[in-house]
């Protein structure tokens, strides 16, 4: 796990309020009017991305010294919740990008930080992380992508990656490889490289998904891809899994915040609809069966939000927070799944219709239980950390 954790001071409350107000305005003006149609066509939101650049979202958690906003993760998670309540896919466009940036900022060499972080912060250079392979997802130590050192000290990469967000429209990815396949344990032979797309590193196909549409998910092939030794993150082999796990803590907090956003959207639309829809001469909000559903949905939203806040606070303090992030991700993603199903039941046929948003929440929510490590994996992480932190 990371041994180079950096703290970030709390964002000034007045600044946080201004930033969140700007995000709300952006969502109302640039996302709400277009989300339904773009999602239905599975179309990449180019104009929305341009507005996110202007807003600084691609540099949200990157330090101010590198041109980013330098926000603490507590503020960042609130941004993600707001965005996801409108259209979850938009949050994914800057989440994977910021995991990549976090790996560089926390573990990269000074040269790597100078070369890449300012361009990451403006969104001029966008990307994500390339971890998953056809035969290795949750078990990252099982990856097969190889990075072999050449006589001049650079590397040649060969392998394939799949289900990679931002791989089609992005220009650069942090690619997890094996530099020593014989290492025991396997993680000691894994390294992380910054690789810009070129003819030797290309997208082979766009992957079609049930939900989470609009954001590009692709399959990638590396064929004798030459990468400079200067792009080995940290400049030292064998630290790649360690470096990416630090970024995945941020990713899991992001996924948890998305879960809060989706769960809240389901709740808000259900509360509104329950006061409009009438059966047996009165709004369904007055029927006890509906009230029980709304109470459970609201409680899950609030509990999920508090878990996200706890994980974000630990991250901002520079503490190890894989347990806290795992708890938040586990609970919030399940809250999104549960609330999306309850919202569909509550809305009846209208919830099942593609004309409205409920069916989109129902399709988007399951991704949260899978992405950034399955919820089953989160339970293992939580249990192991409980035992480790409470030795007898």
Burial of 35 (0-12, 13-18, 19+ CB in 10 A): buried
Alpha-carbon Rg for the chain, nearest whole angstrom, is: 21
Size (the chain), residues: 392
Q: Where in the sequence of the chain do the CATH 2.40.110.10 domains occur?
A: 127-236
CATH number of the domain at 242-389, please?
1.20.140.10
Task: Return the exposure string of 246-283: e unless at least 16 CB atoms fall within 10 Å of the residue's CB, then b.
Answer: bbbbbbbbbbbbbbbbbbbbbbebbbebbeeeeeeeee
pTM: 0.94
pLDDT at 65 over 70: yes
CATH class of the domain defined by 13-122: mainly alpha
Asked whether residue 309 carries a pLDDT value surpassing 90, the answer given is yes
Q: What is the pLDDT of residues 214-230, one digit of tens each?
A: 999 999 999 999 999 99
The pair phi, psi for residue 198, each rounded to 5°, is -160, -170
Mean pLDDT confidence for 166-175: 96
Residue 259 and residue 77: Cα distance in Å, rounded? 11
Stretch 195-213: mean pLDDT, rounded? Answer: 95
Three-state secondary-structure class, residue 287 = coil
What is the tens place of the pLDDT at every residue in 225-267?
Answer: 999 999 999 999 999 999 988 778 899 999 999 999 999 999 9
* Tokens representing residue 126 in the block: 């966008």
What is the structure's pLDDT at 5? 46
Residue 7: is its pLDDT beyond 80?
no
Average pLDDT of 8-12? 85
- Per DSSP, helices labelled H in 278-321 are 288-316
Q: Where in the chain is the domain with CATH 1.20.140.10?
A: 242-389
Evaluate if residue 4 carries a pLDDT over 70.
Answer: no
pLDDT at residue 217, as a whole number: 95
Q: Which residues contact 52 (CB under 8 A, 6 or more apart)?
A: 26, 58, 90, 93, 94, 123
Q: What average pLDDT does this structure show over 81-100?
A: 96
State residue 136's pLDDT score.
87
What is residue 138's predicted lDDT score, i.e. its pLDDT? 81
Computed over every residue of the chain, the mean pLDDT equals 95
**In the predicted structure, residue 1 carries a pLDDT above the cut 50:** no
Q: Which residue has the tokens 């950390």?
A: 385
Give 115-134 pLDDT, tens digit per residue: 999 999 999 999 999 999 99
pLDDT at 227: 97
Question: Distance (Å, rounded) from C-alpha 169 to C-alpha 50?
Answer: 13
Per-residue pLDDT for 301 more than 90? Answer: yes
Active site residues: 372
Question: Which residues of the chain form CATH 1.10.540.10?
Answer: 13-122
Which tens digit of pLDDT belongs to each residue from 314-330? 999 988 899 999 999 99
Arch. (CATH architecture) of 127-236: Beta Barrel (2.40)
Facing residues of 190 across strands? 178
What pLDDT score does 2 carry? 41
| pLDDT of res. 246 | 74
């Amino acid at each position: 796990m990371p041994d180079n954790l950096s703290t970030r001071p709390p964002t000034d409350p007045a600044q946080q309020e201004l930033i969140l107000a700007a995000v709300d305005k952006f969502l109302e003006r640039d996302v709400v009017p277009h989300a339904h149609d773009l999602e239905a066509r599975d179309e990449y939101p180019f104009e929305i991305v341009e507005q996110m650049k202007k807003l600084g979202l691609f540099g949200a958690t990157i330090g101010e010294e590198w041109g980013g906003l330098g926000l603490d993760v507590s503020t960042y998670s609130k941004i993600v919740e707001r965005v996801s309540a409108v259209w979850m896919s938009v949050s994914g466009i800057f989440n994977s990008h910021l995991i990549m940036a976090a790996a560089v900022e926390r573990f990269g060499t000074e040269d790597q930080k100078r070369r890449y972080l300012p361009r990451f912060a403006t969104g001029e250079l966008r990307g994500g992380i390339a971890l998953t392979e056809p035969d290795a997802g949750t078990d990252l130590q099982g990856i097969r992508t190889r990075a072999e050192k050449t006589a001049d000290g650079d590397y040649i990469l060969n392998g394939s990656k799949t289900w990679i967000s931002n791989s089609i429209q992005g220009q650069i990815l942090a690619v997890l490889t094996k530099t020593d396949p014989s290492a025991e344990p396997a993680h000691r032979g894994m390294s992380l490289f910054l690789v810009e797309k070129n003819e030797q590193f290309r997208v082979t196909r766009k992957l079609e998904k049930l939900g989470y549409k609009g954001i590009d998910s692709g399959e990638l092939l590396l064929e004798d891809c030459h990468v400079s030794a200067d792009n080995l993150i940290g400049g030292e082999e064998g630290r790649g899994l360690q470096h990416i796990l630090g970024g995945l803590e941020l990713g899991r907090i992001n996924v948890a915040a998305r879960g809060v956003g989706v769960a809240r959207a389901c709740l808000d639309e259900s509360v509104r609809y329950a006061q409009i829809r009438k059966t047996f001469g009165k709004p369904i909000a007055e029927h006890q069966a509906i009230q029980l559903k709304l109470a459970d949905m609201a409680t899950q939203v609030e509990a999920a939000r508090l878990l996200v806040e706890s994980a974000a606070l630990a991250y901002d303090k520079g503490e190890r927070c894989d347990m806290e992030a795992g708890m938040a991700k586990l609970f919030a993603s399940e809250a999104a799944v549960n609330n999306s199903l309850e919202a569909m039941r509550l809305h009846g046929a209208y919830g099942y219709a593609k004309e409205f948003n409920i069916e989109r929440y129902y399709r988007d929510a399951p991704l949260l239980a899978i992405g950034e490590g399955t919820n089953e994996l989160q339970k293992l992480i939580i249990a192991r950390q409980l035992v480790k932190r409470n030795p007898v």
